[in-house]
């Protein structure tokens, strides 16, 4: 047909994944400057099986991937992959997941930590990323074992490759829609909502940690631990800790309010027919694209995280001690978990400044979308 995508699409099959993500990491570091200028999306798929659609990634993409999931048909149930995952959360999820599955328009996607090749793109460069795959009904247990084979997969994993086709349809829609969009299909309402959840979690974590320290010290004073210890075994009392201070989360709350205001303005402008008319020109589209690309970059910080300068993303990171598992707003969260109160206070300022920087870049995107009218 002569069709060509509006954006370059690069396909990669990475070597060296198991020994520290060496293949993807070295490639990203080698091409860092070009990727920083031009890369707008990285889509990862590590493994696939039979069952439900799993998506983790950048929350600027949450609305976009929900739209894709609504258009992919589950090969077993003949309903959309998104609808089937929503049903799973209602039946198998926590009370909060059930409530949101019934009442929230978009399904939440997971935040990404590490463990696969999205890591250098997201955590080091700040490129919007997705990790996709199907699973949950294929039994599991074979990964990284002698049974992780073609024979096992065709007998027990996904006989007929139905979900291999579903994964191709999911990834294909993501790539085609992103590559051929007039401007990047990013949205910030879900991002802002997610950051608000993270801020509330930090406040609760701080309160719970302070109460935990207080209770432990009280039990030591009352000799409660000693009273319940087994006299036939060696007793070692917990260490008494200094009382935890009350952290000032006002800078984070103020930054969140700033982000909400910028998001509201952007989303309002993008619904305006006058904006749509302005964005019909190639020059306006390129201007908006450039501004949207920098929103993702604004989530990183050149100095990186405490003791981990390579990890530059301030909203998501693999845990310092937990590896694969994600820590959200990691600078503050891990400082609280480690009872490093001075660092927690300092990181509140750092993360607040990052959130304000994101809001300022969204404002630039709003100006680009309107031609600063």
The Cα-based distances of 249 to 17, 66, 125, 141, 217 in angstroms read: 39, 32, 28, 43, 25
Q: Do residues 198 and 335 both lie within one domain?
A: yes
| 241 domain-assigned | yes
Specify whether the CB–CB gap between 178 and 127 falls below 8 A: no
Q: Do residues 106 and 202 both lie within one domain?
A: no
Q: Do residues 274 and 299 both lie within one domain?
A: yes
**HSE-CB for 115 with a 13 A CA cutoff:** 15
| 13 domain-assigned | no
Q: What is the pLDDT of residue 267?
A: 97
Q: Do residues 266 and 222 both lie within one domain?
A: yes
Mean pLDDT, each 10-residue run in order, the chain (373 residues): 92 91 96 96 94 98 98 97 98 96 97 96 98 90 88 90 97 97 97 98 98 96 94 92 96 98 98 94 96 97 97 97 93 98 98 99 97 74
Q: Which residues pair with 43 in a beta bridge?
A: 130
| 174 domain-assigned | yes
Q: What is the pLDDT of residue 80?
A: 98
| 326 domain-assigned | yes
Q: Do residues 144 and 235 both lie within one domain?
A: no
Burial of 134 (0-12, 13-18, 19+ CB in 10 A): buried
Specify whether the CB–CB gap between 52 and 136 falls below 8 A: yes
Joined together, the tokens standing for residue 231 give 């006299």
Number of structural domains the chain divides into: 2
Render 215-230 in DSSP notation, one character per residue. Answer: HHHHHHHTTHHHHHS-
What are residue 130's phi and psi, to 5 degrees?
Answer: -135, 145
CATH number of the domain residue 92 falls in: 3.40.630.10
Q: What is the pLDDT of residue 372?
A: 79
Specify whether the CB–CB gap between 69 and 55 falls below 8 A: yes
Q: What is the pLDDT of residue 373?
A: 54
What are residue 29's phi and psi, to 5 degrees?
Answer: -70, -35
Other Cβ atoms closer than 10 A to 218: 10
Q: Do residues 64 and 207 both lie within one domain?
A: no
Q: Do residues 45 and 131 both lie within one domain?
A: yes
Q: Do residues 243 and 102 both lie within one domain?
A: no
| Rounded distance between C-alpha atoms, residue 125 and residue 90, angstroms | 36
Domain boundary among 137, 158, 180: 180
| 218 domain-assigned | yes
Residues 6+ apart with CB under 8 A from 229: 235
| 5 domain-assigned | no
Helix axes 341-370, 282-297, angle to 10 degrees: 180
| 72 domain-assigned | yes
Q: Do residues 251 and 175 both lie within one domain?
A: no
Q: Are strands 51-57 and 326-328 parallel, antiparallel or unpaired?
A: unpaired
Q: Do residues 136 and 173 both lie within one domain?
A: yes
Q: Do residues 200 and 251 both lie within one domain?
A: yes
Cα 65 to the center of its chain, rounded Å: 13
Domain boundary among 180, 208, 231: 180
CATH number of the domain residue 220 falls in: 1.20.930.40
| Rounded distance between C-alpha atoms, residue 30 and residue 331, angstroms | 27
How many Å is the Cα radius of gyration of the chain?
Answer: 23
Helices (H), the chain: 22-30, 32-38, 62-71, 81-92, 95-103, 119, 150-152, 162-180, 189-221, 224-228, 250-270, 273-278, 282-297, 330-337, 341-370
Joined together, the tokens standing for residue 171 give 């990834």
Q: Are strands 42-44 and 129-136 parallel, antiparallel or unpaired?
A: parallel
| 125 domain-assigned | yes
Domain that holds residue 79: 22-180
User: CA nearest 254: which of 199, 206, 329?
Assistant: 199
CA dihedral (329, 192, 28, 307) in degrees, to 10, reads -10
| Rounded distance between C-alpha atoms, residue 196 and residue 190, angstroms | 10
Domain boundary among 126, 152, 180: 180
Q: Do residues 124 and 239 both lie within one domain?
A: no
Joined together, the tokens standing for residue 72 give 């992919």
Residues 6+ apart with CB under 8 A from 15: 22, 23
């Amino acid at each position: 047909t002569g069709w060509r995508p509006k954006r370059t699409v690069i396909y990669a099959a990475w070597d060296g994944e198991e020994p520290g993500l060496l293949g993807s990491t070295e490639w990203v570091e080698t091409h860092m400057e070009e990727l920083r200028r031009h890369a707008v999306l990285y889509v990862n798929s590590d493994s696939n099986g039979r069952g439900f659609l799993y998506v983790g990634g950048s929350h600027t993409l949450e609305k976009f991937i929900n739209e894709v999931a609504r258009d992919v048909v589950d090969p077993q149930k003949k309903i959309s992959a998104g609808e089937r995952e929503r049903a799973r959360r209602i039946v198998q999820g926590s009370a909060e997941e059930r409530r949101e599955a019934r009442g929230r328009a978009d399904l939440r996607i997971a935040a990404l930590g590490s463990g696969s090749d999205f890591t250098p793109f997201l955590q080091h460069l700040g490129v919007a990323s997705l990790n996709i795959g199907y699973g949950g009904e294929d039994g599991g247990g074979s990964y990284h074992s002698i049974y992780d084979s073609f024979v096992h997969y065709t007998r027990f994993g996904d006989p007929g490759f139905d979900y291999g086709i579903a994964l191709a349809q999911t990834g294909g829609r993501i790539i085609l829609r992103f590559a051929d969009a007039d401007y990047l299909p990013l949205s910030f309402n879900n991002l802002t909502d997610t950051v608000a959840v993270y801020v509330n979690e930090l406040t609760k974590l701080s309160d719970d940690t302070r109460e935990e320290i207080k209770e432990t010290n009280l039990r030591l004073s009352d000799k409660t631990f000693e009273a319940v210890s087994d006299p036939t075994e060696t007793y070692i009392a917990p260490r008494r800790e200094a009382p935890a201070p009350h952290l000032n989360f006002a800078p984070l709350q103020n930054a969140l309010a700033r982000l909400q205001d910028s998001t509201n303005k952007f989303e309002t402008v993008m619904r305006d027919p006058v904006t749509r008319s302005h964005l019909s020109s190639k020059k306006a589209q390129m201007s908006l694209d450039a501004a949207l690309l920098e929103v993702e970059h604004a989530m990183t910080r050149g100095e990186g995280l405490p003791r981990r300068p390579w990890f530059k993303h301030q909203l998501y990171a693999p845990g310092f001690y937990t590896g694969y598992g994600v820590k959200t707003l990691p600078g503050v969260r891990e400082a609280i978990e480690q009872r490093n109160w001075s660092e927690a206070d300092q990181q509140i300022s750092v993360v607040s400044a990052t959130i304000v920087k994101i809001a300022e870049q969204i404002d630039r995107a709003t100006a680009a979308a309107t031609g600063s009218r």
